[in-house]
């Protein structure tokens, strides 16, 4: 069982930055690939970025490449999402997710555990 808790959301202006954090419980954190997804009002939950269990491999959605960076600290059981050059279309609830597999997946169904989400709002 893994419990996930996201923090760091908020209201920012276009072009600014935010850093989201995801704290994970459990002693086998490095066995889990981690992902960030987001869901805007009226939209499907979509993949943003994923990272492998040891952090060597990352996948990014085209919409965030070059602006967002995922990282993890397996000693602290933490995953981070650094979001730069934010745009109004980045506005969404951001969810942290864990998958018991070595490589991240872009598919929601591959993830076993989810956090409650944190709201990110980017004003124009």
Per-residue pLDDT of 85-95, as tens digits, reads: 999 999 999 99
Q: What is the pLDDT of residue 59?
A: 97
Please say whether the beta carbons of 57 and 119 come within 8 A: no
pLDDT by residue (tens digit) across 87-120? 999 999 999 999 999 999 999 999 999 999 999 9
- Name 58's Cβ contacts closer than 8 Å, sequence gap at least 6: 49, 50, 51, 52, 70, 104
Sheet of 4-7, strand order: 4-7, 18-24, 78-83, 68-73
Chain segment 49-70, per-residue pLDDT in tens: 999 999 999 999 999 999 999 9
In this structure, are strands 18-24 and 33-39 parallel, antiparallel, or unpaired? unpaired
* Averaged pLDDT of the chain: 97
Model confidence at 26: pLDDT above 90: no
**CA–CA distance, 73 with 80 (Å, rounded to integer):** 8
Residue 37 Cα distances to 30, 42, 75, 78, angstroms:
19, 15, 23, 16
């Amino acid at each position: 069982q893994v419990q996930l808790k996201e923090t760091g959301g908020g209201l920012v202006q276009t072009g600014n930055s935010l850093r989201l954090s995801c704290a994970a419980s459990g002693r086998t954190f490095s066995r889990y690939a981690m992902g960030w997804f987001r869901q805007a009002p009226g939209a499907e939950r979509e993949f943003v970025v994923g990272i492998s269990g040891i952090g060597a491999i990352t996948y990014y959605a085209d919409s965030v490449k070059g602006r967002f960076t995922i990282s993890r600290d397996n000693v602290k059981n933490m995953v981070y999402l650094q979001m730069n050059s934010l745009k109004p279309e980045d506005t969404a609830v951001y969810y942290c997710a864990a998958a018991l597999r070595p490589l991240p997946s872009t598919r929601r169904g591959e993830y076993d555990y989810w956090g409650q989400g944190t709201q990110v709002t980017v004003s124009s």
